[in-house]
Structure 1
Amino acid sequence: MTDVPNASDQILIVEDEPKIARLVADYLNGSGYPTHHIDNGDQVITWLSETEQRPQLVLLDLMLPGTDGLTLCREIRQRWPRIAIIMLTARVEEVDRLLGLELGADDYICKPFSPREVVARAKAVLRRSQAQDNSIPGHDLLLDENGWRALADGQDLGLTAVEFQLLKVMMQSPGRIFAREQLMDHMYRDHRIVSERTVDSHIKKLRKKIADIWPEREIIRSVYGVGYKYQPEE
């Protein structure tokens, strides 16, 4: 089945090498994806905050003038978790790849690369992102981000802002294990220091509210010695 881009499938290219940026943009435009290009890391967050139409995907170079790609990846994922991210890097060390994915990247591509590969990877990431409907087989668990509400079979779970944020982060990546330290980064926007027990306490309260409606299902699971994951499937 051929992917047909939506008009809203804008892709932000963050790349400081003009030839690479132009080549990638040409191929993406030719496949129906509108693009915007930024060549300095310091401009990315400002543009994302002010633009009227936020992109669905960011192609993010690792080595940039100004703010580096890993720092940007972390901030984008924290502030706009629905934006997909593909890292572009000439550094092939395994630690850099793992670190990039740990910070929230959906995929990475090593330079030099074929622009056709970039288009194919972009289509795959956008397809996965848009296919996530935040639903549980046999049940519906939906997030109302405007009202900061989580609805289980239409019933409001009555979550606090912190509980809503924790659930939202885990639902963005079903099956992914989040360490307590990673969840801490998403709990409070002022980056206050909290203990791991505080994370456990919020998770416990969140689980209880879900169990009040779905006593037979455990959708937030503990991974001993590591952290927690959202796992809707049996």
Structure 2
Amino acid sequence: MVRVLLAEDDTAISDPLARALRREGYDVTVCDDGLAALEEAKSTPDLVVLDIGLPGLDGLEVCRRLRADGRTAPILMLTARADEVDTVVGLDAGADDYVTKPFRLAELLARVRALLRRSAPAPQADDGGGLRIDTQARRVFVDGNELQLTAKEFDLLRVLVREQGKVVGREQLMREVWETQWFGSTKTLDMHVSVLRRKLGDDASHPRFITTVRGVGFRFERPGDAA
């Protein structure tokens, strides 16, 4: 059974949401403050639904600490703030998606299903060029060293590798990785690509794997492909 950690201090939101998640067949644990969320996360849930305005320790700090501790479970942020800057901060802290309050229950459940689907093992692996991707275990190695990637970073890399040698547009990446029709700023995507590049050991002036195609998107190539 899929285990979901729901951290929300407003019972008017947490009670119906927990019931809905349980109707979907998930095993749900509910807590109402940030410190309790960190403690409950030690049980390694499959997904975390995290309110950004938790008492004790806010959701952003909880998210940062979970990622710093190596927790890779998808994190869905709940926020009452719709401003793009706040959203970017949440995603940069390691969240995989966000829903703005008030939200439609059906939409939130769809986001949960999408995050769980993307984090499920994929039936393939990819090797070569110093990079090895174990898609079943969702692990990435460069020159034999394992990288610590968030779920979003892994999904970005997987899409780029799948389209190896082709330019993948920013809108396509937003659509596939964040599962949203995106018509505004792609700063969030650019920030995630920048962090992913740094983890891969890419140099901005002489990229090893990911090349920026100005005005369009990104292209993944293994060392020696261009030759």
Shorter-chain TM-score tier = 0.5 to 0.7
Is residue 21 of structure 1 aligned with residue 14 of structure 2? yes
Q: Highest CA radius of gyration, 1 or 2?
A: 1
Q: How far apart are the structure 2 equivalents of 1:31 and 1:67?
A: 29
TM-score by length of 2: 0.64
- Which consecutive unaligned segments of at least 5 residues does structure 1 have? 1-6, 152-156, 184-198, 205-217
Q: How far apart are the structure 1 equivalents of 2:136 and 2:64?
A: 24
**Aligned residue type for 2:5:** L
Describe how 1:155-170 pairs up with structure 2 within 5 A.
Answer: 157-159=143-145, 164-165=146-147, 168=149, 170=153
Q: How far apart are the structure 2 equivalents of 1:113 and 1:150?
A: 38
Which one of the candidate residues 122, 134, 142 is aligned to 2:134?
A: 142
- Which consecutive unaligned segments of at least 5 residues does structure 2 have? 161-188
How many residues are treated as equivalent by the alignment? 182
* 1:40 counterpart residue number: 33
* 2:201 counterpart residue number: 203
Q: 1:35 to 1:165 in 2, by over 3 A?
A: same
Q: How far apart are the structure 1 equivalents of 2:92 and 2:8?
A: 21
Contact kept in structure 2, 1:41 and 1:65, CA below 8 Å: yes
Q: Deviation per CA, 1:86-123: give whole Å up to 9, x if none.
A: 11011111111111112221111111112222211101
| Shift, 1:137, TM fit | 8.4
Which one of the candidate residues 209, 216, 221 is aligned to 1:220?
A: 209
Describe how 1:46-57 pairs up with structure 2 within 5 A.
Answer: 46-49=39-42, 51=43, 54-57=44-47
Q: 1:219 to 1:144 in 2, by over 3 A?
A: farther
Contact kept in structure 1, 2:127 and 2:133, CA below 8 Å: no
Q: How far apart are the structure 1 equivalents of 2:88 and 2:105?
A: 23
Q: 1:115 to 1:180 in 2, by over 3 A?
A: closer
Q: Extract structure 1 runs of 4+ deviating beyond 2 A.
A: 77-82, 131-145, 148-151, 168-173, 175-183, 218-224, 229-234
Provide the identity percentage: 30
Q: How far apart are the structure 2 equivalents of 1:179 and 1:27?
A: 31
Is residue 120 of structure 1 aligned with residue 103 of structure 2? no
